[in-house]
Amino acid sequence: MSFRDFIDHLRTSGRLVEVTEPVSKVFEAPRLAKKSNAPILFHDIDGQKAIMNLLGSRDELADMFGVPKDGIIQRLSDIRPDGEVKIVDTSPTMEVIENDVDLSKLPLMTHFEKDGGPYITAGVVVSEYGGMMNASIHRLMVVGKDKLAARLVPPRHSYVLHKKAAENNEPLPVAIVLGADPVITFASTTRVPAGKEFEYAAALRGAPVELFECENGVKVPHAEIILEGYVDPTERVDEGPFVDITGTYDLVRKEPVITITKIMHRKDPIYHGILPAGAEHLLMMGVPYEPKIYNAVAEVTTVKNVVLTEGGCCYLHAVVQIEKQTEGDAKNAIMAAFAAHTSLKHVVIVDEDIDIFNIMDVEFAIATRVKADLDVMIIPNVRGSSLDPRGSPDGTTTKMGIDATKVLAEKEIFERAKMPDVLLL
Ligand SMILES: C/C(=C\C(=O)O)CCOP(=O)(O)O
Ligand SMILES: [Mn+2]
């Protein structure tokens, strides 16, 4: 499915908000997108088209995968990154080719008051070096007419490929993909084995992913806009400040510079922007880790479901539902969850009768099934997330796991009272 087909699907199913009045890319469009999580299409954002909140809810993701909302994890855990990838000669993305690059012509937005400037938020950076490829989303800050600073996070595969190229003092060829089939964009946020993002997307879609070759050799899927260029082996500039998933400002760091040599795009292209700290951003960060946690917990007990909660920025807090088999299972589930997602800070383990999507239910489990000295595990000096404002400067933090499951030997005292079915008047 193309990006446009997906937008048409949102339109025909009545879920798309359309803004036809002119809006500015500086603060105004992001403010409008922040009002709700509904997909919002701007027809005139400084003369261009742009969509935000494309995958702004679990309902949207579930619809894209063709499963119910509580079936997303199961679907993602079942899929293997072995779908078909086909190389083709041509692409609708080549409708317009610009060799005189001017990034200011694109609707790249400025979102928050202390932002370092406009940046690309939904660009899938595809890179190839030494026979390896990668596709992942990185922040791309405009630092010149044809230059972007890329936040390449260690140990993501783009970071590794850039490091390898830099060790040989060679530029890393890249292509930045904006507005591909949303399944491909989602696949680029996952933690599949190196170079398997497009195969994973093809398996998820149940249809081959077509790739075509850019002038610099990088192979890319059809998209609305593609920026072609290379990452310099040595040049680094300040990147940020920018708001990340926590809604607070991430640190300013020295990051590598990409020079864009060519832009290809559809006629009348639709730019994709992800609102920083918005639901789409949180989901893209968190949902790929949920199947990893699910599979890791499945190794130690019977796992039923996993969610990285929105209140925990879909990244720092998990709720794991298990069918407890033996006393102590929940403690093993806690350790498995931390091992599967090393940025996770707090995790709560609950039984099958707790609705993990309902925070009231999770709090009920903590309130009625936890005795802190027995059920809370505190683990100091563990690798945490660089995005946690409370993390230590050396990258470590203190983690907490809460076993909010029933004590098996006393199960009946934890049962929730039910009302019998009766005929209602
Ligand atoms: C943007 C980050 C990661 C990514 O691109 O996947 C920063 C958070 O990474 P941590 O590993 O949690 O520090
Ligand atoms: Mn990768």
pLDDT one-digit tens code per residue, 199-211: 999 999 999 999 9
Average pLDDT over residues 252-281: 98
pTM, two decimals, is: 0.95
> What was the ipTM of the complex prediction?
0.93
pLDDT one-digit tens code per residue, 150-192: 999 998 999 999 999 999 999 999 999 999 999 999 999 998 9
Query: What average pLDDT is seen over the chain?
Result: 96
Residue 42 confidence (pLDDT): 98
Report the atom number in ligand 1 closest to the C-alpha of 245.
Answer: 1
Please state, in angstroms and rounded to a whole number, the distance separating the CA atoms of residues 284 and 124. Answer: 12
The dihedral sign for the CA sequence 147, 190, 57, 266: positive
Banded pLDDT at 69 (limits 50, 70, 90): confident
Banded pLDDT at 422 (limits 50, 70, 90): confident
Task: Report CA-CA distances (Å) from 16 to 13, 33, 241.
Answer: 8, 12, 31
User: Does 425 have pLDDT greater than 90?
Assistant: no
Task: Report CA-CA distances (Å) from 216 to 128, 175, 345.
Answer: 10, 8, 41
Q: Which helix (H) or strand (E) holds 223?
A: none
Average pLDDT over residues 59-63: 92
Q: What percent of the chain has pLDDT over 90?
A: 95
C-alpha of residue 346 to centroid of ligand 1, in Å = 17
Q: Is the CB of 246 under 6 A from ligand 1?
A: no
Q: Is the CB of 121 under 6 A from ligand 1?
A: no
Residue 274: how many CB atoms within 10 A of its CB? 27
Q: Which helix (H) or strand (E) holds 206?
A: none
Ligand nearest to the CA of 191: 2
C-alpha closest to that of 221 among 202, 249, 203: 202
Q: Is residue 350 within 8 Å of 320, Cβ to Cβ?
A: yes
Measuring from atom 2 of ligand 1, which residue has the nearest CA? 153
Ligand nearest to the CA of 242: 1
Alpha helices in 39-127 (DSSP H): 58-65, 72-78
Angle between helices 329-340 and 289-298 (to 10 degrees): 140
User: Does 424 have pLDDT greater than 80?
Assistant: no
pLDDT one-digit tens code per residue, 323-367: 999 999 999 999 999 999 999 999 999 999 999 999 999 999 999
C-alpha of residue 189 to centroid of ligand 2, in Å = 8
- Choice from 153, 250, 283 to test ligand 1 binding pocket (greatest atom count within 8 A of CB): 153
Report the atom number in ligand 1 closest to the C-alpha of 136.
Answer: 5
Measuring from atom 12 of ligand 1, which residue has the nearest CA? 385
Domains and CATH numbers, the chain: 84-267 (2.30.110.10), 284-413 (3.40.1670.10)
C-alpha of residue 360 to centroid of ligand 2, in Å = 36
Residue 58 confidence (pLDDT): 93
pLDDT one-digit tens code per residue, 129-145: 999 999 999 999 999 99
Q: Which residues of 188-197 are buried (b: 16+ CB within 10 A; e: fewer)?
A: bbbebeebbb
Residue 207 confidence (pLDDT): 96
Residue 191 confidence (pLDDT): 86
C-alpha closest to that of 228 among 200, 260, 256: 260
115 is an active site residue: no
Q: Is the CB of 383 under 6 A from ligand 1?
A: no
